[in-house]
Chain A
């Protein structure tokens, strides 16, 4: 039973990073009604950006991290303004947009592969002296920082979406883009800003992922998609609280499987959850949660 509690606690830690990524993926879907298949590549990109600023340009570490997050935000905003937006306005179908973002993801993945030539690298987040041991799990200081960061980011995002004019406009676009335009909301500008915000969150998620694994390689983001997509779908797309709940469930299932079944076939968890969601509750958990939480 102790092991169960330990894995519960550890799941909160792993869910922190996952929920940041799932929230960003989910919000991008809600705002532009597309699945961003370049999302894994965008996570990888933020790690490489930090590596570039820190190891190659030689900027001080935490400044490099900040620049990488900013870069990630700008990249997402650019992707929305110059790629996704124009295709949507042309009337491209959801399928075409999936192929477009898939292509972009491939371009990023292999552009990084060809451009950097380093198979893997490490970002020195440090904080290992703070390590806490809980059963078979080990938490580093950096991971605890990530949990705190996730809480702050989520609270900030919720405040943005519910308390500010811009955030309400983002929710209005999620509800009905055409009506938002006809009400006087500059939909293109707000969409770009929304993507910028999701890009910042993506960048932080990518770097938090790098902090929790010892080495970064080109597949770090795409492998993580196996957890992000099921977490976002389980939570219900477009819902912050849903994405967080979904991330907790996925992390817990992942860790319990690891403890009680073994790491064999652990990779199947995401797919299994996704299958259950699609068969039983295609809208995800958000339908339940929004009643209690006021939704988002």
Chain B
């Protein structure tokens, strides 16, 4: 039972940091990233591999392939997390520089989706990258009594993330981001380099995803493509949408409600508890329905962002759908 509670706590922290990072991208900066979970996976892989190091005695011979990496030593604890964040950050720069060049923002979002699918196939198919579909396992925990101390360590990381995101949101930089999210054209006209600001939130968000991934693998000890299928990205989107896009407290609430609550509640459904093979299907179908439902009934989430002027804030220039046309008209006509 104590182990179960520890697991839930670590899972909650992991989802909360993931949600906060996605909220920086989508909620604060107006960047839509369907490849978000890829950076979580990279964080988990790098965090795991640096913790394993070259200590071959500790891992089964099955994983010989990864030693193409030939890490001379295994890194001490905070450095494993830091290296995960740095690797994800560097990779984000490369992806972001290309994706954020798109003429339309939804082209960029589509491209992140393709990046995810490509990397998923690539990492699964090529064993000497991250050991392919088998993945890595036997990652040691950084603390001696993980059941007790790991959740406390995790909550510490959540506190750091919370303070970081809060500081960013309240800073002048955060206000520029909000202005870019709501009126990118106007922000550009005021001399703000929209692409640089978007790149910076893209990187910051992905680094937080990597932090969360490195944190999770320190507890569960194993990681493979089965752990990061594309539906996982939906869980994080659901957390942000259900919690309240743009509201950090809402996102943490969303992590508890969707990430932990719904995922765990499904296990106790009578139809499911007799057939555990159904668990992932029911979870993801349910989360998909909840996401669409919230977008329809309560698009601003359980705890809406304060001072948001428009219910559908992310207006994009160049869209010609009926509704957007009308909203644009309203904005034009409302200016007196």
Contact = CB atoms under 8 A, between A and B. Distances in A.
User: Direct A–B touching in the complex (beta carbon < 8 Å)?
Assistant: yes
Interface string B296-336: 10010000000000001011100111111111000000000
Interface stretch (A5-13, A59-67, A266-274): A266-274
B284 interface: yes
Interface residues of B, number: 61
Contacts of B230: 106, 222
Contacts of A95: 26, 30, 32, 105-106, 109, 314, 316
Contacts, number: 170
B71 interface: no
Interface in A39-92: 83, 86-92
A88 B285 contact: no
B118 A91 contact: no
Nearest to B313: A93
Contact of B312 (A91, A102, A104, A275): A91
A256 interface: no
B110 A229 contact: yes
A119 to B, nearest CB: 11
A100 B295 contact: yes
B92 interface: no
Given A96-B299, A99-B237, A178-B322, A107 B117 contact: no
B236 to A, nearest CB: 11
Interface in A216-268: 222-223, 225-226, 229-230, 233, 264-265, 267-268
A275 B314 contact: no
A88 B111 CA distance: 22
Contact of B98 (A94, A109, A278): A278
Interface residues of A, number: 54
Contact of B34 (A37, A94, A107, A264): A37
Contacts of B296: 86-87
Nearest to A224: B117
A223 B111 contact: no
Interface string B274-291: 000110111111011101
Given A88-B323, A110-B280, 10 more contacts: A93-B319, A94-B316, A95-B26, A95-B105, A102-B234, A103-B238, A107-B285, A110-B284, A233-B110, A268-B118
The 8 closest A-B pairs by CB, nearest first: A114-B281, A91-B323, A107-B288, A94-B106, A110-B284, A103-B288, A282-B103, A110-B281
